Amino acid sequence: MISQAKANFQRISPRKARVIADLVRGRDVGEALQLLEFTRKAGAPVLKKLLASAVANARLKRPDLDPDGLFVSWATVDQGPNSHMRRWRPRAQGRATRIAKGVSHIHLQLDLR
């Protein structure tokens, strides 16, 4: 592992973010950034910013490192807690049901090819 970056409590559902994480996993950094630039999905800007942060972390750790030699070795999206985004919808006969608002924890790792 050369560098890693985490984005906790991102306001996107894990199901939507996993689609984009699966898209960039295993790709070179330059290719992944370009792919995220032109992908029209809700999670693409979040993952693009996180990937740029991981590249910056790699440059801080090793200043002589060429970022073109890096690839996304590990990308996971986990569900975050929903305790602060509780919403309720009225239902029949005086009942109420909870609305699930998605919160994600996204982790990226970069490694040398």
Domains of the chain, residue spans: 3-112
The number of beta carbons lying within 10 Å of the beta carbon of residue 46 is 21
In single-letter form, the type of residue at position 56 comes to A
| CB 24, CB 32: distance < 8 Å | yes
Q: Which of 89, 88, 74, 77 is nearest to 7 (CA)?
A: 77
Per-residue pLDDT of the chain (113 residues; tens, 9 = 90+): 789 999 999 999 999 999 999 999 999 999 999 999 999 999 999 999 999 999 999 999 988 888 888 999 999 999 998 877 788 999 999 999 988 888 999 999 999 98
User: What CATH number does the domain located at 3-112 have?
Assistant: 3.90.470.10
pTM, two decimals, is 0.86
